[in-house]
Amino acid sequence: MKSSDTASPEPSNDETDNSQIDSSQSEGSEPGRFDMSKVVEIPRWKRILKAVDLPIQFVRIALFVLIIWAWESRWIFKGGSPFSFLGWDYQVFPEIIPLFQGVPSEAWNFLLDIWDDSLFWGDFWVTLQEAIYGFVIGSTLGFTVGLLLGSFRRAAKVMSPFLIFANAVPKIALAPILILWYGVDIASKVALATIIVFFIVQIPVQAAVAGVDPDLDVVATSMGATQFQKFRFVVIPGILGPLFGALRLSSIYSILAVVLGEFIVSKRGLGQRLLYETNNFGMGKAIGLITILAGLALVFNFIIGMMERRFLRWQDTAARGKVVSL
């Protein structure tokens, strides 16, 4: 009797491949989707080292030490010509007499002595107030005007000649007028800082709004977006980069503006104190005050930089800090 059992056909290569694909997909991955299990997080210490960039930091420290050495040894006060290697003996930078020289050690001693000086902290608070008020008012007005003029082209054409003329006026020429109008208190310095900050913010914001890709507006309109939604999701993301760049610059210029106003006339402030020290040949103290003003500008810039990273984090990749393991 012949056996009725027949050998089962062997699966073809295509069937084998399909079964492997099905088994791999049954493990949890969807077809056509990237397997996120292969995304491996970089250790935190490696991310920190990459962000710090040690070679760059070493170069910066070496350059800083070199500058301090040349300054403290008074080598930079000897004068000379940067073109002496060409045989040009004309002395471009004359030698500075010792009375007008100031070295970092003198500035450091001044910085150590001011911690218990209540008058200094009063001057510091006055300058800080003036800079913050001028920055906030000027940047707010600059952002608002830039946003409106960038959105309404006809209004921009009407206002453009007036804004160009106002921006062309030397701001230092306005300082005496503002002091006559608002007095020697903080109002005149705030007004000067507001005017300077206004144009630093208004011009790039207006250009950024006018330069938003019109195709994005068309796509948003076709998807049924309202004017507010287009403003929020199309215009604002497109101008945040130029806006934060302008805010970084204007935060520095707000300090420069109030110090300039305090130079001309003021009851209190670091600018008035700096002018007093230079008039009395206290160069070490003057350098210390300049260091404090520069540090204040760095703090402003750092705060704005933190805000920039917070609001522009969508520009980074979704898998930031991670790599794909192949």
Token output for 24: 């791999």
CA pair distance 116, 300, nearest whole angstrom: 24
Q: What is the pLDDT of residues 226-269, one digit of tens each?
A: 777 777 777 888 888 889 999 999 999 999 999 999 998 888 89
By the 10 Å C-beta count (0-12 exposed, 13-18 middle, 19+ buried), 216 is classed as: middle
Q: In this predicted model, what pLDDT tens digit does every residue of 99-151 receive, in sequence order?
A: 888 888 888 988 888 888 888 999 999 999 999 999 999 999 999 999 999 88
Which residues, other chains included, contact 281 with Cβ-Cβ below 8 Å and sequence gap of 6+?
A: 99, 100
What are φ and ψ of residue 200, in 5° steps?
A: -65, -35
Q: 47-61, 105-119, 181-195, 278-292: which has the minimum mean pLDDT? A: 47-61
Assess contact for 176 and 264: CB atoms under 8 A: yes
Q: What is the pTM of this model?
A: 0.74
Ordered structural domains, the chain, with CATH: 40-101 (no CATH), 102-312 (1.10.3720.10)
**Which H helix or E strand runs over 152?**
none
For residue 116, give the 3-state DSSP assignment: helix
- Can you tell me the distance from the alpha carbon of 227 to that of 244, in angstroms, rounded to the nearest whole number? 24
